[in-house]
Amino acid sequence: AKEEEVPLSVANRRMSRQIMVGSVPVGGKAPVSVQSMTTTLTSDVDATLQQIAELTAAGCQIVRVAVPSADDAAALPIIAKKSQLPVIADIHFQPKYVFAAIDAGCAAVRVNPGNIKKFDDKVGDIAKAAADAGIPIRIGVNAGSLDKRLLEKYGKATPDALVESALWECSLFEEHGFGDIKISVKHNDPVVMIEAYRRLAARCDYPLHLGVTEAGPQFQGTIKSAVAFGALLAEGIGDTIRVSLSCPPVEEVKVGNQILESLALRERGLDIVSCPSCGRAQVDVHTLSERVSAALEGFPVPLRVAVMGCVVNGPGEAREADLGVASGNGKGQIFVKGEVIKTVPESEIVEALLEEAVRIAEERGIA
Ligand code: SF4
């Protein structure tokens, strides 16, 4: 039978204008990018560059660094120069750091409209400096620092308050002919955040940076971000994402990439499809799937690997996988596309899968 077309794809994305964050296009038909933020003191250049290297290795595409002090601003030139990723300077209060970041060669600057009063008379100068340098500005609205005027008008950080704040700040830059902008309207409640982005998406064509702010510890934050980003991206909304977690930023990148892979917005890398296990299981599926994940982490070929708990149903249930194992009786049946190719002792399962994965990679001309 003819395969039904899957509706979710890049083709269904909201068409936003495209901006460039360094070498990374954001918006338009560009793939959704993953970004994160360093947790080091920006003024500690070595530690910051080290963390950026770790983020790069984890698949991060854009990195943001906080610039709360003059020492941090002073560190920007060398960080911008040596970073493998485009660097966005995150600036809340001090317009002079915006100019410093632009001079330092940062790929973009993020400003927060809640603090715009301090920028007010400087918007024209900032727009000109950014335009001259050819870099975009992110308008980063945050529920926690919403403009007082809007808080009074709406009572709290509602979706409309967030949207109004963002569009108002955009208009300040637009007045100076500057439209090289991306926007975020972050809230810690995914329900409010989703609605804010939906309304914002309908009212402008700026690329959107998705984020749930203060999403929380790893487990809760991962779920909140996956749910919120998933809902929006499935509607075609969102051009770049940052998962905020209270844990090392590399974890944010892993979650971000996994969200995009889950929605097929990015080529799937390693996809472990382990069975949930049941009364028929003859092996500890949980431990085995973790060992297989660890052994294949970073494998250069997209691969779907099944780890199944029993030989009766395993190979059949995992027919769609590139390869897999079904365990029983202290042994593992290694199968490729649902066909059992060999049986190995349980202690050799991981090794056998790895061997088979390398063979598949060679077949595809990659390893
Ligand atoms: Fe149960 Fe076997 Fe299915 Fe795993 S593969 S859920 S052990 S029936």
- The tokens for 287 are 């431990």
- The tokens for 12 are 């269904």
Ligand 1 close to Cβ of residue 43 (< 6 A): no
Strand runs labelled E in the chain:
19-21, 24-26, 33-37, 62-66, 87-91, 108-111, 137-142, 181-186, 209-210, 240-242, 270-274, 303-308, 323-328, 331-336, 339-345
As a whole number, mean pLDDT of residues 292-309 equals: 90
Ligand 1 close to Cβ of residue 308 (< 6 A): yes
Looking at residue 119, what is its pLDDT?
67
DSSP for 318-329 reads: TTTSSEEEEEET
CA distance 109 to 97: 10
336 CB contacts (<8 Å, ≥6 apart)? 322, 323, 356, 360
CA distance 110 to 21: 11
Q: Which residue has the tokens 């963390």?
A: 51
CA distance 231 to 31: 17
Q: Given pLDDT bands bounded at 50, 70 and 90, which one contains residue 116?
A: low
Ligand 1 close to Cβ of residue 333 (< 6 A): no
Tens-place pLDDT, residues 94-113? 889 999 999 999 999 998 86
Q: Which residue has the tokens 């003024």?
A: 43
Ligand 1 close to Cβ of residue 252 (< 6 A): no
Out of 280, 284, 288, 307, mutate this one to test ligand 1's pocket (max ligand atoms within 8 Å of CB): namely 280
- The tokens for 220 are 């809760």
For the CA of 314, the nearest atom of ligand 1: 5
pTM of the model: 0.83
Q: Ranked by mean pLDDT, which of 60-69, 259-268, 270-279 comes out on top?
A: 60-69
CA 306 / ligand 1 centre spacing (Å): 11
CA 343 / ligand 1 centre spacing (Å): 18
The Cα diameter of the chain in Å comes to: 75
Whether pLDDT at 14 is above 80: yes
CA distance 252 to 246: 9
CA 326 / ligand 1 centre spacing (Å): 9
Q: Does residue 344 come out as left (phi exceeding 0), alpha (psi in the -120 to 50 range) or beta? A: beta
- The tokens for 191 are 């329900």
Closest C-alpha residue for ligand 1 atom 1:
278
Instruction: Provide the annotated binding site for [4Fe-4S] cluster.
Output: 275, 278, 310, 317
Ligand 1 close to Cβ of residue 319 (< 6 A): no
Whether pLDDT at 262 is above 60: yes
